[in-house]
Amino acid sequence: MAMVCLSDFEAYAKKYLPKIAWDYFAAGADDCTTRDENILAYKRIPFRPRMLRDVSVMDIRTKILGSEISFPVGIAPTGFHQLAWPDGEKSTAKAARAMDTCYIASTYSTCTLEEISTAAPGGLRWFQLYIHRNREASRQLVQRAEALGFRGLVLTADLPYTGKRRDDVRNGFRLPPHMKVKNLERAFEVCKLSPLDPSVTWNDIYWLRSLTSLPIIIKGILTREDAELAVRHGVQGIIVSNHGGRQLDEGPATIDALVEVVEAVRGRVEVYVDGGIRKGSDVLKALALGAKCVFIGRPALWGLAYKGEEGLQDVLRILQDEFRLSMALAGCASVSEIGQHLVQFSRL
């Protein structure tokens, strides 16, 4: 089976992963409408490709929060990578470093932050945080991450409670006994994800600020109002996200929400987006609409499921090649040439 595009990896993962793991990764909330809209919304945005521009030398590198990456695609935070591949997040970290991009490690990793750091020293990594009822546990996590060289703190804002994913309910999903949410082992038992704190508010960003000098990126913003609040509370970046359609179903597709967030932010902080990226040309559209970088969630897991570190590199390399080709065919030789003129705005 030739692995030509990301859906080849999806088909592989669906075929070879245990059903309960596949279902967990694939799950969307309720009717999975938002999960699927994330993908469909990209298709509704037509390009306006330009011709006869010198694209013989292509430069697809970019910077996020000052760190250079090989192309504007990073790894979004997702939990439980050992469900996809035995070495779990250690493989993810190695692949991200090999491809010279950013990996956002999840609180719900099945490897410790220390294991992740040791597996790929020097890689660009951010740490994703859920704030727990036990604030001391969260404080320790943040400070461990900073000490280990993580270079950004990603606060997930859209999970005061876990969304209703019907298949997980039917399957009675929980981690197999030999896997642990290791980062939290010392603090408490979290297999049921229960100790998240639903009372978190914008003021808690000030509390986070007091704990760390890392840049704070807020993840899960979908409206101009919340984008404005995020900027006012001093974050350094915003990830437009609907948690892969796993939280509130029937909210906006992320690429649609990106437009309004970018407009509200007016360049004051960097804006990223995740959800629905399946081709290099999706990356190009996201950048044309103002994203500084995109993050992939499920496709990274499919890559892991295929061949661990190597499989994830394959996924990233395909996206990289497709992104470079899309740029060239649209008439852009470097990321700095990408702009809103590349897409048909009136159809949004």
Site of interaction with a copy of itself (CB under 8 A):
2, 4-5, 30-31, 33, 42-43, 45-56, 157-158, 160-161, 163-164, 166, 169-170, 197-202, 204, 218, 220-223, 225-226, 229, 247-252, 279, 281, 285, 321-322, 325-326, 328-330, 344
Cβ-based nearer residue to a copy of itself, 56 or 213: 56
Sign (positive or negative) of CA dihedral 273, 239, 198, 25? positive
The Cα 129–Cα 153 span in angstroms is 7
Contact 69, 124 (CB under 8 A): yes
Minimum distance from residue 102 beta carbon to a copy of itself (Å): 23
Residue 277 annotated in ligand binding: yes
Phi, psi (degrees; rounded to nearest 5) at 333: -95, -15
Cβ-based nearer residue to a copy of itself, 251 or 308: 251
Residue 130 annotated in ligand binding: yes
Residue 77 annotated in ligand binding: yes
Inter-CA distances, 153 with 51, 158, 171, 179, Å? 41, 15, 32, 25
Cβ-based nearer residue to a copy of itself, 66 or 198: 198
Contact 304, 84 (CB under 8 A): yes
Residue 24 annotated in ligand binding: yes
The Cα 323–Cα 320 span in angstroms is 5
Is 178 catalytic? The answer is: no
Among 103, 101, 100, which Cα is nearest to 89's? Answer: 103
Give, as one character, the DSSP assignment of residue 109: -
Cβ-based nearer residue to a copy of itself, 120 or 286: 286
Minimum distance from residue 67 beta carbon to a copy of itself (Å): 26
Cβ-based nearer residue to a copy of itself, 51 or 66: 51
- The tokens for 112 are 């410790």
The Cα 9–Cα 51 span in angstroms is 32
The Cα 98–Cα 1 span in angstroms is 24
Contact 34, 250 (CB under 8 A): yes
Residue 125 annotated in ligand binding: no
Cβ-based nearer residue to a copy of itself, 16 or 206: 206
Which residues are CB-neighbours of 106 under 8 A, at least 6 positions away?
77, 78, 79, 89, 128
Minimum distance from residue 185 beta carbon to a copy of itself (Å): 25
Tell me the pairing of strands 62-64 and 67-69: antiparallel
Residue 165 annotated in ligand binding: yes
Residue 156 annotated in ligand binding: yes
The Cα 324–Cα 330 span in angstroms is 10
Residue set of the binding site for glyoxylate: 24, 165, 243, 246
Residue set of the binding site for FMN: 77-79, 106, 128, 130, 156, 219, 241, 274-278, 297-298
Q: Which residues are catalytic?
A: 243
